[in-house]
């Protein structure tokens, strides 16, 4: 479920990577479709997921953009600085929801990909909206949203992000093993109880 929201009602949270923005822009323009909505807080308009899409929309002059609105006060929505925070609470996690809202509302943007938001739904909801269905105006300058980093920095950041993903896979495997062991324990308990009933 998404709404078409005026882009001016949205508030960015993070800067974006220049090369990632260029690559994403080419993909969107070649397909002429926006596949997934931006996710934003319904109360403040702060963007929780989709910073690069937001800058794409601004750059190309879109007026109304697809947004999935969520209540950021919902305790089922969490924030961390690493993907592993989806599964484990880390006392060293220095990002709070309060800081996210403060940064977004004030315009004091985080560096690219600083936050990781975890929602009680899958983020890859495909909406496949043709760009021609979105109201458009003149292109806008977006330089204030683009981080001043070189391509090697972005490559290194992507490599670190891949390591985060691998770490999350490892944690999922450990969790699956824990659940498997619990299942085996319960099956064993049932078997023992069946013999004495």
Report the pLDDT value the prediction gives residue 141, as an integer from 0 to 100. Answer: 96
**Residue range 147-168: mean pLDDT, rounded:** 86
3-state SS assignment for residue 4: strand
Per the listing, tokens 């308990």 go with 189
Q: For residue 6, name the pLDDT band (cuts at 50, 70, 90).
A: very high
Report the pLDDT value the prediction gives residue 63, as an integer from 0 to 100. Answer: 96
Nearest to 77 by CA among 104, 52, 42, 110: 42
Count other Cβ atoms within 10 Å, centred on residue 3.
Answer: 13
Per the listing, tokens 């697809």 go with 66
Regarding predicted confidence, which is higher, 195 or 85? 195
Q: DSSP string of 133-185?
A: GS-B------GGGB----HHHHHHHHHHHHHHHHHHHHHHHHHHHHHHHHHHH
Choose the weakest-confidence range: 15-24, 33-42, 116-125: 116-125
**Residue range 161-166: mean pLDDT, rounded:** 81
**CA gyration radius, the chain:** 21
66 near 38, Cβ under 8 Å?
A: yes
- Is residue 157 predicted with pLDDT exceeding 90? no
DSSP classification of residue 36: S
Q: Residue 100 to residues 75, 96, 156: CA-CA distances in angstroms?
A: 15, 6, 25
Report the pLDDT value the prediction gives residue 161, as an integer from 0 to 100. Answer: 79
Q: What is the pTM of this model?
A: 0.81
Helix axes 18-31, 51-59, angle to 10 degrees: 70
72 near 43, Cβ under 8 Å?
A: yes
Q: Which two tokens stand for residue 84?
A: 């592993």
Q: For residue 144, name the pLDDT band (cuts at 50, 70, 90).
A: very high
Q: Which two tokens stand for residue 78?
A: 């969490």
Q: For residue 179, name the pLDDT band (cuts at 50, 70, 90).
A: confident
Report the pLDDT value the prediction gives residue 89, as an integer from 0 to 100. Answer: 62
Distance from chain centroid for Cα 187: 39
pLDDT in tens, 81-107: 655 545 556 666 678 889 999 999 999
Report the pLDDT value the prediction gives residue 178, as an integer from 0 to 100. Answer: 82
104 near 139, Cβ under 8 Å?
A: no
């Amino acid at each position: 479920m998404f709404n078409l929201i005026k882009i001016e009602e949205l508030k960015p949270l993070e800067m974006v990577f220049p090369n990632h923005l260029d690559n994403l822009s080419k993909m969107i323009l070649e397909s002429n479709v926006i596949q997934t909505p931006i996710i934003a807080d319904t109360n403040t308009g702060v963007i929780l997921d989709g910073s690069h899409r937001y800058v794409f929309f601004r750059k190309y002059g879109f007026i109304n953009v697809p947004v999935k609105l969520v209540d950021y006060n919902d305790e089922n929505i969490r924030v961390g600085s690493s993907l592993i925070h989806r599964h484990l609470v880390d006392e060293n996690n220095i990002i709070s929801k309060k800081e996210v809202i403060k940064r977004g509302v004030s315009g004091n943007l985080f560096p690219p990909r600083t936050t990781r938001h975890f929602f009680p739904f899958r983020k890859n909801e495909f909406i496949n909206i043709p760009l021609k269905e979105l109201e458009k105006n003149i292109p806008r300058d977006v330089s204030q949203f683009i981080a001043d980093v070189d391509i090697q920095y972005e490559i290194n950041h992507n490599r670190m992000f891949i390591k985060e993903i691998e770490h999350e896979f490892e944690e999922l495997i450990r969790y699956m093993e824990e659940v498997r062991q619990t299942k085996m324990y319960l099956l064993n308990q049932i078997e023992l109880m069946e013999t004495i009933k």
